[in-house]
């Protein structure tokens, strides 16, 4: 027997956006699964989405309801979801209530009822909701395990993919013999974190295929459940080879300081205190990309897209037309309880839709504030995953970050994330000749040349404009309080030969 003789397990769509990727491409056909979680965690919605995605009149779904919520009430609410197609009832999806049998008879009778219906209908999908209500009846563990075992065997023989839905508390997960029978175990959680609610999904077990480990966030909206994989839907994606192309800001002096621009696929951090022009620089970066035919995404958290575009107009940059032409998308991401994974999903979706090459995140502080408290704790780790995923598909990311101005140190970021970035541009105020002026310096460029020059700049109606030559007649510029030094006059132009450091 060679590898070609191995049985091929078909993968069924889960009907939940994002979940197929998490379970490794789809749910194994004929698998026996348990969906567990506390009330209100989304178990029934998940089962319904699977049922509506897979049931056909030829291979229908049998949905057994037991005790608890009545089918009428359940369908009253479930039909509000956009995935709910009433035309699928009753030919493709049949709801059968077993409450009478459960209340008046034993598990043997329940099994008989289910097997009779399965034999009659030949379903592709069987759901028992909620299976836990049967379990709570007084009976021996052995009786229950035997019931589950026989049910699992029977339904697998009838080539049905099965879901048992049950309310389980966290501590019931361990040493539960019922779970050993299941091929797949889906655990749904709904956790309060301060004033926020965070929903998470974990595939504790899935026989026969690789699922993405860990806790994945999910959201329930009008469209039903949507899951956000920790790998952002990029599982199996091979990182694009490093590019040697340089992306310009359209500010000749800055581009020259950067050795021709930032390298494509880099993560660039623009750090500076309030009013130093971080957003202006970011806008110029995006606008220059669009001018060169490179679509872009701007993720804003602190102002509305309209305000962002209007501010660009005041700098002579047109962001309205490219938005209409589908070359630019300004994403306003400010719902409460956002997860990084959801943000990433929105960004990735936009990247793929318009083929974006440049992405601006304005700003990291706003991004962090939009997250629910629990996610803020993992911000650095999440940011790492996000930057790695996006740069991996060739997107160049420019993030702005506000830093507190200090006259004793020169911080690059409040998040200790400079190791996540390839390039850092630092903007800061300096006190010179009785004026608060602005300077800019390229701190770091991974894998490229950059100038060491400290340049003065202004923000005008043309955006960031770098003034004259590098400042050579002051000492201690980065302290913010430089000392005048009459050592020399400004040099001619920033010299790549003398002012560059080289790293590879």
Partner 1 sequence: MRGRKMTALPQMRDLANRLLDYEAGMGKASESVGSPALRVYEKLRQNLSSFAGATAFQSLAFRALTQAKSETSALWAVQVAADGSLQGLGTIDAQTEMGQDWAGERGIILIARLLGLLRIFLGEALTLSLLRSAWPSEVFDDRNSAQRRSA
**By the criterion CB under 8 A, which residues form the site for partner 1?**
65, 70-73, 75-76, 79, 86-91, 94-97, 99-100
Nearer to partner 1, 80 or 498 (CB): 80
Nearer to partner 1, 78 or 231 (CB): 78
Give me the least distance between CB of 183 and partner 1, in Å please: 29
Give me the least distance between CB of 76 and partner 1, in Å please: 5
Cα distances (angstroms) measured from residue 211 to each of 22, 28, 276, 347: 6, 11, 45, 23
Nearer to partner 1, 64 or 186 (CB): 64
Nearer to partner 1, 116 or 493 (CB): 116
Nearer to partner 1, 97 or 145 (CB): 97
Token pair 């049950």 in the structure block, residue: 166
Nearer to partner 1, 87 or 409 (CB): 87
The number of CA neighbours under 13 Å toward the Cβ of 343 is 34
Give me the least distance between CB of 59 and partner 1, in Å please: 17
Give me the least distance between CB of 7 and partner 1, in Å please: 36
Are 360 and 366 spatial neighbours (Cβ–Cβ below 8 Å)? no
Dist. CA 47–CA 489, nearest whole Å:
74
Residues contacting 119, CB < 8 A, separation 6+: 158
Nearer to partner 1, 99 or 196 (CB): 99
Q: Which residues is 63 bridged to in the sheet?
A: 95, 127
Nearer to partner 1, 90 or 293 (CB): 90
Dist. CA 212–CA 207, nearest whole Å:
13
Residues contacting 324, CB < 8 A, separation 6+: none
Are 438 and 458 spatial neighbours (Cβ–Cβ below 8 Å)? yes
Token pair 């980065």 in the structure block, residue: 478
Dist. CA 164–CA 16, nearest whole Å:
17
Give me the least distance between CB of 164 and partner 1, in Å please: 19
Please report the DSSP string for 143-179 in residue order: HHHHHHHHHHHHHHHTT-EEEEEEE--GGGSTT-HHH
Please report the DSSP string for 225-249 in residue order: EEEE-TTTT-TTPPPPPPP--EE--
Nearer to partner 1, 90 or 138 (CB): 90
Token pair 């959680």 in the structure block, residue: 189
Give me the least distance between CB of 111 and partner 1, in Å please: 18
Q: Which residues is 431 bridged to in the sheet?
A: 436
Give me the least distance between CB of 34 and partner 1, in Å please: 23
Nearer to partner 1, 75 or 350 (CB): 75
User: Treating both helix axes as pointing N-terminal to C-terminal, what angle do 340-354 and 379-392 enclose, rounded to 10 degrees?
Assistant: 20
Give me the least distance between CB of 52 and partner 1, in Å please: 13
Torsion over CA of 223, 224, 230 and 231, rounded to 10 degrees? -50
SS3 102: helix
Nearer to partner 1, 111 or 333 (CB): 111
Please report the DSSP string for 379-436 in residue order: HHHHHHHHHHHHHHTT-EEEEEEE----SS---S-TTS-GGG-SEEEEEEEEEETTEE
Are 330 and 298 spatial neighbours (Cβ–Cβ below 8 Å)? yes
Give me the least distance between CB of 54 and partner 1, in Å please: 18
Are 308 and 339 spatial neighbours (Cβ–Cβ below 8 Å)? no
Dist. CA 152–CA 52, nearest whole Å:
22
Give me the least distance between CB of 120 and partner 1, in Å please: 12
Give me the least distance between CB of 91 and partner 1, in Å please: 8
């Amino acid at each position: 027997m060679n590898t070609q003789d191995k049985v091929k397990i078909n993968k069924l769509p889960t009907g939940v956006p994002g979940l197929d990727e998490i379970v490794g491409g789809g749910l194994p056909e004929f698998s026996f699964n348990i969906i567990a979680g506390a009330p209100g965690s989304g178990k029934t919605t998940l089962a319904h989405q699977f049922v509506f995605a897979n049931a056909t009149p030829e291979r229908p779904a049998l949905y057994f309801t037991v005790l608890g919520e009545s089918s009428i009430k359940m369908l009253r609410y479930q039909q509000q979801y956009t995935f709910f197609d009433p035309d699928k009832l009753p030919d493709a999806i049949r709801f059968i209530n077993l409450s009478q049998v459960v209340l008046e008879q034993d598990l043997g009778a329940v099994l008989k009822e289910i097997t009779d219906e399965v034999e009659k209908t030949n379903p592709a999908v069987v759901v028992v909701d909620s299976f836990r209500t049967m379990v709570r009846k007084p009976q021996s563990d052995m009786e229950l395990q035997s019931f589950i075992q026989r049910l699992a065997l029977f339904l697998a023989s009838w080539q049905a993919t099965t879901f048992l839905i049950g309310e389980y508390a966290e501590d019931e997960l361990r040493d539960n013999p019922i779970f050993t029978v299941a091929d797949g175990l889906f655990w749904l959680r709904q956790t309060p974190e301060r004033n926020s609610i965070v929903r998470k999904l974990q595939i504790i077990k899935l026989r026969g295929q690789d699922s993405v480990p860990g806790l994945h966030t999910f959201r329930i909206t009008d469209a039903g459940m949507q899951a956000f994989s920790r790998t952002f839907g990029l599982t199996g994606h091979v990182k694009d080879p490093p590019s040697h192309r340089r992306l310009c800001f359209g500010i000749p002096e800055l581009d020259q300081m950067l050795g021709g621009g930032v390298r494509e696929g880099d993560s660039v951090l623009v750090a500076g205190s309030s009013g130093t022009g971080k957003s202006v620089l970011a806008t110029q970066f995006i606008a220059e990309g669009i001018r060169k035919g490179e679509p872009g995404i701007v993720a804003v958290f602190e102002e509305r897209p309209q305000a962002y575009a209007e501010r660009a107009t005041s700098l002579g940059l047109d962001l309205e037309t490219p938005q209409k032409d589908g070359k630019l998308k300004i994403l306003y991401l400010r719902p409460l309880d956002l997860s990084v994974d959801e943000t990433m999903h929105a960004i990735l979706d936009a990247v793929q839709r318009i083929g974006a090459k440049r992405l601006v995140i304005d700003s990291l502080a706003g991004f962090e504030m939009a997250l629910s408290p629990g996610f803020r704790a993992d911000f650095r780790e999440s940011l790492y995953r996000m930057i790695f995923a996006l740069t991996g598909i060739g997107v160049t990311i420019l993030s702005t970050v506000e830093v507190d101005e200090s006259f004793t140190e020169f911080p690059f970021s409040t998040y200790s994330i400079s190791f996540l970035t390839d390039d850092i541009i630092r903007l800061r105020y300096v006190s010179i000749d009785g004026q608060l002026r602005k300077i800019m310096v390229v701190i770091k460029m991974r894998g490229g040349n950059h100038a060491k020059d400290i340049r003065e700049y202004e923000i005008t109606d043309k955006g960031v404009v770098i003034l004259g030559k590098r400042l050579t007649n002051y000492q201690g510029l980065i302290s913010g309080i430089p000392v005048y030094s009459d050592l020399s006059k400004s040099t001619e132009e920033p010299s790549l030969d003398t002012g560059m450091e080289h790293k590879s």
